[in-house]
Amino acid sequence: MGYRRRSRRRSGNKAPLLGVVIIAVAVLVVVARLDLLPWQLPGSDRAASATEVPSSELQSRVAISTPTATPTVTPTPIPAPVKTTNAPPPNVSALGAVAIDERSGAVLYEKNAHARRAPASITKIVTAIVALENGNISDMVTVKYDPNELVDSTVMGVNVGDRLSLEDLLYGLMLPSGNDAALAIASHIAGSEKAFCDLMNAKMKVLGLGDSHFVNAHGLDNKDHYSSAYDMAMVSRYAMQNPVFRKLALAKVHTVTVWRANGTKESYDVFNLNKLLSIYPGADGIKVGYTENALRTIVGSVTKDGHRVFVALMGSVDLWSDSPPILDYVFKNFKWPSR
């Protein structure tokens, strides 16, 4: 009997002991899952004296399930051509000049590149790209302008009330440098020349070109109408990304069709005034200009061995004596990095 009582007493104590063990194990598991040391548990006597967990560690614990943000990738700068000779840059008559590599935007030649000067008709480069980005080349345009604004102007030959496509107006703007086309385009796109100039100035601001301010769409002299060789080269670099603009800049001749205000239909050719297209191998644009105040101006584009270079001249006495030496200097003395 005594043995049985002892046996029952022992068996009666086993269950509570097992329960205590299970609870202890569970606590240890919880502690391990929380990654807490004994003195970090609430109520521990050692908690107050223990070294606090660094805030960075606590933040990492809290954020452990938070998706990691994708880091911002900074574009790798495009390597610029490197000059490989000691050849001096050419001396030209232009008061402001620059040559720019298309791919990198690097300046390869400059002379007063940021000097503000009258741009004359290379203004129409900005007119054209703004029109292309805000209009549809298939639009039919009714010509509107103030004839008094066209004194001593080059024109494409459209009159108030004539109708033609925006595309033909753009060819009339870029090839024979028609000021009548510039005014018709401005009126069609923005409702007025002033509103159109606001678009032109806004475009230059977006491109980060701060040497320019335009008060007309054609480039006739005005004290508040100015740009720089650098700005004109860089806006041309931007414009030449547009395939329609590239066609305009390259064309030597184009046939326009005009529905005259009297009801007759007339087709005729307009011709490009940019002689660089004919005299320099690889030339593929862009625009020339002239006024008595601005003298000769140009933005030219030449592509050789897959590399395009823009040359911009302002205040030149002779574009065809100034442009080739700069282009020769660049292509003969700079080496482009392999892509």
Which pLDDT score is estimated for 69?
56
Residue 339: per-residue pLDDT: 73
Q: Which CATH number fits domain 82-335: 3.40.710.10, 3.30.1360.200, 3.30.70.141, 3.40.50.300?
A: 3.40.710.10
Nearest to 105 by CA among 308, 320, 328, 243: 308
Distance CA 206, CA 217 (A): 18
**DSSP conformation class of 149:** G
Q: Where are the domains of the chain?
A: 2-65, 82-335
Mean pLDDT of 294-308: 97
Look at 79-88, 142-151, 271-280 and tell me which has the smallest mean pLDDT: 142-151
- How far apart are alpha carbons 80 and 34 in whole angstroms? 55
Q: What percent of the chain has pLDDT over 90?
A: 75
Residue 85 is classified by DSSP as S
Q: What is the mean pLDDT of residues 312-324?
A: 98
pLDDT tens for 236-247 read 999 999 999 999
Distant-in-sequence, close-in-space partners of 265: CB < 8 Å, separation ≥ 6 = 257, 258, 259
Q: Are 176 and 111 in contact (CB under 8 A)?
A: no
Reported for 187-191, long-range contacts at CB under 8 A and 24+ positions apart, including other chains, are 187/144, 187/145, 188/135, 188/139, 188/141, 188/142, 188/144, 189/130, 189/131, 189/134, 189/135, 190/134
User: Per 3-state DSSP, what percentage of the chain is helix, strand, and coil (rounded to 5)?
Assistant: 40, 20, 40
| Catalytically annotated residues | 121, 124, 177
Long-range own/partner contacts, residues 48-51 (CB < 8 A, 24 or more apart): none
d(C-alpha 178, C-alpha 258), whole Å: 14
Contact call for residues 261 and 242 (beta carbons, < 8 A): no
pLDDT digits (tens, 9 = 90+) for 170-197: 999 999 999 999 999 999 999 999 999 9
Which of 207, 225, 211 has the alpha carbon at shortest distance from 120?
A: 225
Residue 286 preceded by cis peptide, ω within 30: yes
Whole-model pTM? 0.78
pLDDT value at residue 338 = 87
The mean per-residue pLDDT over the stretch 244-264 comes to: 98
* Whole-Å CA distances, 65 to 31, 61, 82, 140: 19, 8, 49, 60
Higher pLDDT, 112 or 13: 112
pLDDT at 7 over 90: no
* Distance (Å, whole) CA 233 – CA 228: 9
User: Is the predicted pLDDT of residue 225 greater than 90, yes or no?
Assistant: yes
Q: What is the mean pLDDT of the chain?
A: 86
